[in-house]
Amino acid sequence: MRRLMTSVSRILCLGILVALGLALAPRSARAEDADEHPVLEEPRSRQGYWIGFGVSGAGVRAWEKGKDRGVYAGYTGTFRIGQLITQRLGLGLLIEYMGGIGKGSDKGSIDGLTLEGSCLLWRNLSVHAGFGLGVVLLKDPQALDPSTRAGGGSYFLLGASYDIFPLKKKLTGGWAITPVVDLHGSADGNIHFLALLAGAQLTWWSGLPDNMLHLPEE
């Protein structure tokens, strides 16, 4: 199991690097000719920078020193910030606190800091993958040894989201309600885990300025 999770982490990290390379290459080329040949985009709600605050329910399967500890249940709070690099590819940062996870008297939390890449697939549906650092803490006050057990190291995620703009008042940007489903995990330290998260995020998109948009004459 540990080898599988380590391999997945490396593949996701490589995928993010490749995506960034593909995204930055055409952007750099366009920047050189921006004054003579400006590239304009059609106005869309999902443009520019984003900032999001989310809450999700979580189911966590944990392994401690090779022993299956079963499934812990809890909740997660997330903060996301980032920018679209092209019309489809984005790069951002995820800060996550998975608190209140527990199974019986065994309680704990998971914290993660992740560099996250995203790709728009269809309309406002996007997939994202990330790689960073995570820490998991567990403690059972009723055990013979009630001290805190810890694990930490590489941290990966893979997920999908869809931005819904219920109050669309602008040609570009605005507030969105974003359902999110994620798979998170870590293969390092004394405690390994896989976590399935499902919830929603309140997202603000900055949009693009008029000089970057192809606007209708009216």
- Structure token digits, residue 214: 């192809």
Range of the domain at 11: 2-208
Q: What is the pLDDT of residue 31?
A: 42
Answer yes or no: is 213 within a domain: no
The low-confidence residues of the chain, meaning pLDDT below 50, are 1, 3-8, 11-12, 18-19, 22-35
Question: DSSP string spanning 163-216?
Answer: -B-TT--SSS-EEEEEEEEEEEEE--SSEEEEEEEEEEEEEEE----GGGB---
Return the sign of the alpha-carbon dihedral for residues 65, 70, 74, 80. Answer: positive
Answer yes or no: is 215 within a domain: no
Q: What is the pLDDT of residue 40?
A: 78
Return the sign of the alpha-carbon dihedral for residues 6, 10, 151, 98. Answer: negative
Answer yes or no: is 217 within a domain: no
Domain count, the chain: 1
Q: What is the pLDDT of residue 13?
A: 55
CATH code at position 136? 2.40.160.20
Helix (H, G, I), strand (E, B) or coil at 95: strand
Prediction pTM value:
0.79
Q: What is the pLDDT of residue 197?
A: 96
Answer yes or no: is 216 within a domain: no
